[in-house]
Structure 1
Amino acid sequence: MTPALSPAEVTINVVGALFAIPIVFGIFIKAPKLVVFGFIGILFCFSDSTWGQLETDANIYSRGVGMFYFSLLNLILMVAGVAALLKRLANPQGPQLAPPMAKYLAAFVFLLLGHVVVGLMQGIELDVILGYSGIFNVLNMMVFMYLVIMAFESEKDTQRLLLMIIALATLRAIFGAVRFFLFDGDTANPYRNFEGLDIKIFYFDINDNFVASLGAFCAAWLLTTPGVKLGWFKRGLLIAFLVLEVAAVALSFRRTSLIGLGLMFLFLFLRLPGTRKFMFSIVAAGLLAAVASVFYEHRLQFASEDDMLSSLIYDIAPSRGIKDGRFYELYAAAQSMDGNWLFGRGTWGTFSGDRERLSYHGDDFSFVHSGFGHVLLKTGIVGLLLFCGLLAAYVGFYMRHRNSLAGYARLLGDAGFAGFLFWVPTLLVGTPIIEFRTMMMLGLVLAMPFIAVGIRNYQVRAYQYDPRYAVA
C-alpha cells in the first residue's frame, strides 16, 4: 500500500505535475525520441515489484497515486499519447503506424468506456473502474507501443534504440551483480523472507529478468547471425555480456523467466541457417543446462523430491487436479463468473474462493495469476477474444515480414518477437495485466517489429530515390 503523503509532498507533486505535463506535450511534438528514451530508461533501470519485501516503500511507478486517479508516470504517458494523436491528425498523409493493431486499440477504448458507463450506473467509483486491477494497463501498453513506433523512423534511430537496450541491460546487470555478490541480493526476496529458504536472489521483478533476457538474446544474435562481422575484442565483450545476463536470470530463480529465456533461445535456433544450428545448439544447451542445475540446486529441490521436471511444475502438475495447486485460483475465478461469461464481472470485479487455499492473495481478490484469465474475469469472452486477436495480429504481422528484414532491422524485429515469447509464460500463469511496468515492456516488444518493417520500407524508398544513398 502506498504510504500517505504529507501536505507539503502533495503540493510539491501537484506543482511538479502542472509544470511537467505541458513540457512533456511540447517535447513529444518536437522530439518524440527524447520522451520515449526517457520512458525506456526508467522502465529498464527501476524495479516495480514490492512483493517479497519486509518493508515496502513508494517507488517511481506509484508516485502520484492517491492524489490523482493514476501515477504521475502514467499521466505523462497519457499526455504524450494525446500529443501523438494530435501530431498524427495534423499529418494524416504520413505512413500508417501498425495498421493491424489500430482496430484493437479502438475496440479496447470502446470496451473500457462501456465498463465506465455500466460501473457508474451501478454506483462504482471512477477510480475503481479505471484502476490498475482492471484492464487499464492494456490501454497503457498500446499507447506506449504507438509512441515507440512514432519515435523511431530511420536506420540511425534503430541503432540508437538497440545500443540503448544493450547499454541499459549491461548497467542493470552490473548493479544486480554487485548487489548479489558483495551484499545480500535483492531485498524483494519472498523465498527467504516468506518461505524461509536460505537463498539470495539477483532480481525478483520479472521485468529485470526480461531486461537480462533481451540483452542476452541481442548478444547471442550478434554472435551467431551470418553477415555480422565482429573483431575478437567485441566478440569477447559480447560473450562476457551474454554470460552475465544469463547468470542474472539463473540467479533470480524465477521459473517463468527460465522458460521465457529458453523460448527465446529456441526461437534464435530456428532462425539460424542449418550450418550454424549445430554449434549454437551445443553452446545454448550447455548454458541452459548450467542455468537449470543452479536453479534446481538452490530452489526447486525444496519444492519436490522427484526429478527436475517434476520440481519445475510441482504446483501445476496434472496429478494435483484442477481443484488443488496453482490452478485452484482459476477454478475459483471461473466459479465466480456466474452468468457473466460474455462481458465479465467488470473492471472492478472480484472473485471468491477458499481463503485458506488462496492465502497468498491476502485480502485482494481483484486479480488472478493468469493474464488471459484476468482479462476473462474482468471483460469476459468479448475482452479475451479482443486481447487474443491483438496478439494474433502481432504474430501474423511478424511472420509475414520476418524474412524480408535485414541488418539492424532484422535484429530489432527478431528481438521484439523473442521478447514477446519471453512474456508468454507470464501471460499464462503470471499477473502482467495489473503491472504497469510489465505492460509497458510488452508494449515495447510489440512495437519493435513494426519499427523494423518501417525501417525496411524507408530503405526501399531511399534506394528507389537514389541507390547511392540507400542504407546497406
Structure 2
Amino acid sequence: MTPALTPAEVTTNLLAALFLIPIVFGFVIKAPQLVALGFVGVLFSFSDSTWGQLTAENTIYSRGSGMFYFSLLNLVLLTAGFAALLKRLANPQGAQLAPPMAKYFVAFVFLIAGHVLIGLMEGIDLNVILGYNGMLNVINMLVFMYLAIMAFDSEKDSRKLLWTIVILAAIRGVFGAVRYFMFDGDTANPYRNFEGLNIKIFYFDISDNFVASLGAFCAAWLLTAPESKPSWFRRALLFGFLVLEIAAVALSFRRSSLIGLGLMFAFLFLRLPGKRKFLVAIVGAALLTVVASVFYEHRLQFNNNESMFSSLIYDIAPERGIRNSRFYELYAAAQSMDGNWLFGRGTWGTFTGDRDRLSYHGDDFSFVHSGFGHVLLKTGVVGLLLFCSLLSAYIAFYMRHRNYLTGESRLLADAGFAGFLFWVPTLLIGTPIIEFRTMLLLGLTLAMPFIAVGIRTVQVRRALYDQNYAVA
C-alpha cells in the first residue's frame, strides 16, 4: 500500500502535473524522441521493486498515485500517448506504426472499457477498476511501444536509442557493482531480510536484471556479429562490459533472470553464421559454468542440496504435488474462476485459497505469479487470447523481416526480440502485468523491431529516390 501523502507532497505533485503535462504535450508534437529517451532514462536508472526491504518507501514510479488515479509518470505517459495520437491524426498520410499490433491495442481498449462499465454498474470504485493490479499496465505497455516507434523514425534517432541503452546499462551495472562489492548490495533483499539467509544480491528488481541482460546481449552481438568489426581496445571494453552484466544477473540470484539470459544467448547463437558458433559455444559454456557454480553455491544450495537441477526446481518438482508446489497459487486462482472463464473476474477481481500456503501474498489476492495467469484471472479466455495473439503478431513480424536487416538496424531488432525472450519466464511465473516499469520495458522490446524495420523502409525509399533521380 502506498503511504499517505503529506500536504506538501500533494501540493508538489499537483504543481508538477500542472506544469509538466503541457510541456510534455508540446515536446511530443515537436521532438518526441526527447520524451521517449526521457522515459528510457528513468526506466533504466531507477528501481521499482521495494519487496524485500525492511521499510517501505515510495519510488519514482508511485509518485502522485496517492492523489491521482495514476502516478505522475503514468499521467505523463498517457498525455504523451494522446499527443502522439493527435499528431498521427493530423498526418494520416504518414507511415503506419506497427500495423499488425493496432487491432489488438483497440481490442484491449474496448475490453477494459467494458470492464469499467460493468464495474461501475456493480458499485466498484473507478480507481480500483483501473488500478495497477488490474490490466492498466497492458495499455501503458502499448502506449509506450507506439510512442517509441513514432519517436525513433530516423537512423540518427535509432542510433541514439541503441547507444543510450548500452550506456545506461553500463552506468547501472557500475552502480550495482559498487553497491555490491563495497557496501551491502541491494537493500531490497528478501533472502536476507525475510528468509534469514546470509546473501548479498546485486539487484532484486527483475527489470534491473533485464537492463543488465539487454546490455550483455548488445555487447555479445557487437563482439560476434560478422558486420561488427570493433578495434582491439573497443573489443576489450565490450568484453569487460559483457562480464559485468552477466555477473549482475548471476549475483542477483533470480532464476527467471538466469533462464531469460540463457534464452537470449541461445538466440544469439542461432543467429550467428556457422564459423562463429564454435567460438561462441566455448566462451558461452565457460561463462555458463562459472555462473551456474556461483548461483548454486550462494543461492540454490539453500533450497535443496541434492543436485543443481533439483535445487533449481525445488518448488515445482512433480513429487511435491500441486498443493505443495509453486503452482498451488494458479490452482487456487483457477478454482476461484467459477463461471467467469470467458471474461474473467474483472480487472478488480481477486481469488481465494489456503492462506497458510499463500502467506507470501499477505492479504492481497488481486494478482497471481504468472503474467498469463493474471490476464486470465482478470479478463478470462477472451483477454488471454488477445494478449497471446498480440505477442504472436510481434513474433511473426520479427521473423518475417529479420533476414532483411543489416548493421545497427539488425542489432536493434535482434536486441528487441532477445529482450522479449528474456521476459518469457517472467510472463510464465512472475508478476509483470502489475509492474509499471516491467511492462514499459516489455513495450520497448516490442517496439525495437518495428523501429528497425521502419528505418530500413526509409533507407530503401531513399535509395530508390536517388536511383530514379540519377536516371532522370
Decide: shared fold, TM above 0.5: yes
1:248 paired residue number: 248
Cα 1:363/1:410, change in 2 over 3 Å: same
Residues 392-451 of structure 1 show CA distances to partners (whole Å, capped at 9, x for unaligned) of 000000000000111110000000000000000000000000000000000000000000
Structure-2 separation of matches of 1:178 and 1:408: 31
1:160 aligns to 2:157 (yes or no):
no
CA deviation after TM superposition for structure 1 residue 386, in Å: 0.2
Aligned pairs for 1:131-142 (under 5 A) are 131-142=131-142
Deviation at 1:323, TM superposition (A): 2.1
Q: Deviations over 1:51-71 (max 9, x none)?
A: 000011111000001100000
- Does structure 1 residue 143 correspond to structure 2 residue 143? yes
Cα shift at 1:316: 1.1
Q: Which whole-Å CA distance do the structure 2 matches of 1:403 and 1:14 have between them?
A: 49
Q: Which moved more, 1:25-34 or 1:150-159?
A: 150-159
Deviates more, 1:12-21 or 1:460-469: 460-469
Distance in 2 of aligned mates of 1:467 and 1:329: 61
Letter in 1 for 2:126: L
For residue 119 of structure 2, give the secondary structure of its aligned residue in structure 1. helix
> Who is 1:237 aligned against?
237
Aligned to 1:33: 33
| Map of 1:457 onto structure 2 | 457
The equivalent residue for 1:390 is 390
Residue 260 of structure 1 is matched in structure 2 by 260
Amino acid across the alignment from 1:399: M
Task: Indicate the SS of the match to 2:111.
Answer: helix
Distance in 1 between residues matched to 2:244 and 2:8, nearest whole Å: 43
State the distance in 2 between where 1:413 and 1:154 align: 15
- The answer to whether the 8 Å contact 1:462/1:469 transfers is no
Partner residue of 2:55?
Answer: 55
RMSD, aligned CA: 1.1
Tell me the residue number matched to 1:335.
335
Q: Say whether 1:399 aligns with 2:417.
A: no
**CA distance in structure 1 between the partners assigned to 2:33 and 2:228 by the alignment:** 27
> 1:300 aligns to what?
300
Provide the residue aligned with 1:439 in structure 2.
439
Is the CA contact (8 Å cut-off) linking 1:213 and 1:249 kept in structure 2?
Answer: yes
| Structure 1 counterpart SS, 2:323 | coil
CA change 1:455–1:469 in 2 (3 A) is farther
Query: Who is 2:283 aligned against?
Result: 283
Q: Runs of 4+ in structure 1 displaced over 4 angstroms?
A: 467-470
1:469 to partner: Cα distance: 11
- Could you list the per-position Cα deviations for residues 247-300 of structure 1 after superposition, in whole angstroms to 9, with x for gaps in the alignment? 000000000000000000000000000111111011111111111110000000
Q: Percent identity?
A: 77
Matches of 1:467 and 1:196 in 2, distance apart? 69
SS in 2 for 1:269: helix
CA distance in 1 between counterparts of 2:31 and 2:359 reads: 48
Give the Cα–Cα distance (whole angstroms) in 1 for the partners of residues 469 and 39 of structure 2: 32
The yes-or-no answer on 1:372 pairing with 2:372 is yes
Worse-matched range after superposition: 152-161 or 54-63: 152-161
Q: Which residue of 2 aligns with 1:347?
A: 347
Distance in 2 of aligned mates of 1:449 and 1:378: 29
Report the residue type matching 1:69 in the other structure.
Y
Report what 1:309 is aligned to.
Answer: 309
Contact 1:260 1:425 (C-alpha < 8 Å) held by counterparts: yes
Could you tell me which amino acid in structure 1 is paired with residue 282 of structure 2?
I
Residues in 1 aligned to 2:158 and 2:31: alpha-carbon distance in whole angstroms: 16
Q: In the alignment, which residue of structure 2 is the partner of 1:422?
A: 422
Secondary structure of the residue aligned to 1:188 is: coil
Equivalent position of 1:177 in the other structure:
177
Q: In the alignment, does 2:211 pair up with 1:214?
A: no
Is the partner of 2:441 in helix, strand or coil? helix
How far does residue 155 in structure 1 lie from its aligned partner after superposition? 1.3
CA distance in 2, matches of 1:380, 1:54: 36
Cα distance in 1 between the residues matched to 2:406 and 2:95: 20
CA distance in 2: counterparts of 1:466 and 1:213, whole angstroms: 40
Q: What are structure 1's unaligned runs of at least 5 residues? A: none
1:22 paired residue number = 22
Tell me whether 1:125 sits opposite 2:125 in the alignment: yes
Deviations 1:133-181 (A, max 9, x none): 0001000000000000000111111211111000000000000000000
Per-residue deviation, 1:468: 12
Q: Normalising by structure 1, what TM-score? A: 0.98
Distance 2:432 2:391 in 1: 14
The letter of the residue matching 1:4 is: A
How far is 1:20 from its partner?
A: 0.6
Superposed displacement of residue 16, structure 1: 1.3
Structure 2 equivalent of residue 188 of structure 1? 188
Q: What amino acid sits opposite 1:202 in the alignment?
A: F
In structure 2, what is the Cα distance between the partners aligned to 1:8 and 1:51?
26
Cα distance between partner residues in 1 of 2:255 and 2:12: 41
Give TM-score scaled by structure 2 length: 0.98
Q: What is the distance in 2 between the residues matched to 1:155 and 1:316? A: 46
Distance 1:313 1:91, change over 3 A: same
Question: 1:305, CA displacement in angstroms?
Answer: 2.1
Aligned AA (2:362):
G
Q: Distance in 2 between matches of 1:236 and 1:468?
A: 44
Give the paired residue count: 470
Q: Deviations over 1:188-244 (max 9, x none)?
A: 000000011101000000000000000000000000010211110000000000000
CA distance in 2, matches of 1:409, 1:415: 10
Separation in structure 2 between the aligned mates of residue 89 and residue 344 of structure 1, nearest angstrom:
34
How far apart, CA to CA, are the structure 1 residues paired with 2:108 and 2:52? 33
Matched residue, 2:111: 111
- Amino acid in the other structure paired with 1:251: L
Deviation of residue 467 (structure 1)? 5.3
